[in-house]
Structure 1
Amino acid sequence: MNRYSINEFIKNTEQVDKGEGFFELETPRLLEVNLNGLVWAKAGSMVAYHGKIKFEREGILEHGLGTMFKKALTGEGASLMKANGDGKLYLADSGKKIIILHLENEAIFVNGNDLLAFEPSINHKIKMMKKVAGMMAGGLFNIRCEGTGLIAITSHYEPLTLRVTPGKPIITDPNATVAWSGNLQPEFQTDITLKTFLGRGSGESIQMRFEGDGFVIVQPFEETYYKQAQSYGG
């Protein structure tokens, strides 16, 4: 058979059931959800599905007035949708690499732009990074996921996990920070000398400082937040 034929292409790329369960990585950048009930997913992440599935945007009052105000401030980046039904759902986000994590009565913070999907057994809460609201364009919020179940997060290229140990804080660029352990509370700091040295915008001078005992996941890429960048003149 001609290796460039349509039949050969289909054979090499068609969907194959791997029997991995609720979440299944069809490719490193495409998540299959074997749906029989409900899943939460990033709004706009559906690329295909079959079966009977109904999509619904997260209600603005779903988690109370406080969340409503947070969502108004954070823009579209943290918007979630519910997919409910029976079938196969395929999710992706701008070709980013997908990581599946199983939480066992654990908590993890995920950058609002990097949370792709999670089981309904996981409690989620949007957290504002109030100290940086007027300081930088983007990375203003994160989502705390807690409980037992599967979550899928995304990373531009291969992620790196850095251990945070007492007395050895880890400093990261907010736009390259994907997630961190639920017991860590990052502080924000500005580095005026770095900003001056680089001669660049405010994004480079704001840093996240993690202290304690845990981990932080970073990606080799600085995400830009166009909507927020326009809002803050960045």
Structure 2
Amino acid sequence: MSIPAFNPMTLPSNDNVNPYAFSVDLNGQWFTQKGKMIAYYGQIKFEALSAGPLDALVAAHFHSPLYAQDWVIAQGQGKLLLADRGFDVNSFDLDDGNLTVRAGNLLAFEPGLDLKQSIIPGFLTLIGTGRFVAASNGPVHFVEPPIRIDPQALLGWADCPSPCHHYDHSYMRGVMGMARQMFGVGGTSGEEHQFDFTGQGTVLMQSSEVVANEDTLLRDLEGQVGMLGAGGLQRLHQTIGQRLAAERER
């Protein structure tokens, strides 16, 4: 069986190569998450967001210092191939829109969009007009509120209010109740804890409960530790110890 080989002329332009890889026709600059570029053709270089000549671009479009170390700017001309560990990859176009997406699933976006840090831990918000590329564990489904979604299946939401946490009574019982109330996270099934969406808009849901990257959630939690005093840090230390002990007993 003959397998076709791609080259710069035959690769798609700003489209999927297959369900797991996306080809950006770069002619200028894109923000890309580190580790998501798998190959490129042409004259392209990658600069950290802290690079001096890019200060104006970063100041205008990237407003999440908590995640700045995870991103670079690809600039130049050529074909830029993006992928994420075999997850499905899709591109989305915003037209003067507002969309929030799980931080670990966002692979790249055009500078026409502004990136901001969502009030929901582990998520980032894109505002403006332009294209972005995101990964999902399985196909993406678009659903309308009102709806409750398992936290691990939630990919993002567009043009609707931020969700509320919905907890069943059984979730609030047990040794980790205090930590769950503080941070809205914890090991449990989707039947006990969901994100509750109301109002108008669109919710993006992936076809799996496997989260692509949990490091982003840890980054958000670490960012909140600085707001705790000595008493809060001590309580958090005790809670983490209890959680680790419970995990070891599984």
TM-score range, shorter chain: 0.7 to 0.9
Query: 1:202 pairs with 154, 165, 187, which one?
Result: 187
Count of residue pairs the alignment pairs up: 203
SS state at 2:64 partner: helix
SS state at 1:113 partner: helix
Displacement of 1:83 in angstroms is 0.3
Query: 1:181 pairs with 148, 154, 158, which one?
Result: 158
Residue type at the aligned position of 2:144: R
Q: Do the aligned partners of residues 213 and 55 (structure 1) sit closer, same or farther apart at CA in structure 2, a change above 3 Å counting?
A: same
Paired with 2:90 and 2:111, the residues of 1 have a C-alpha distance of: 18
Residue type at the aligned position of 1:207: Q
Paired with 1:141 and 1:122, the residues of 2 have a C-alpha distance of: 19
TM-score normalised by the chain length of structure 1: 0.74
- 1:43 and 2:24 matched: no
Displacement of 1:57 in angstroms is 2.7
Match of 1:142 in 2: 123
- Asked if 2 retains the 8 angstrom alpha-carbon contact of 1:161 and 1:218, the reply is yes
Match of 1:171 in 2: 148
- 1:215 and 2:182 matched: no
TM-score normalised by the chain length of structure 2: 0.69
Normalized per residue, the structure richer in helix is 2
Q: Do the aligned partners of residues 85 and 203 (structure 1) sit closer, same or farther apart at CA in structure 2, a change above 3 Å counting?
A: farther
Gaps of 5+ in 1: 130-139
Gaps of 5+ in 2: 174-185, 223-239, 245-250
Paired with 1:209 and 1:151, the residues of 2 have a C-alpha distance of: 25
Paired with 2:129 and 2:64, the residues of 1 have a C-alpha distance of: 23
Paired with 2:12 and 2:41, the residues of 1 have a C-alpha distance of: 18
Paired with 1:174 and 1:59, the residues of 2 have a C-alpha distance of: 33
Summarize deviations over 1:150-181 as a string: whole Å, max 9, x none: 111111111222111xxxx2111222111101
Match of 1:134 in 2: none
Report the aligned-residue RMSD. Answer: 3.3
Taking every aligned residue pair, what percent have the same amino acid on both sides?
Answer: 26
Match of 1:151 in 2: 132
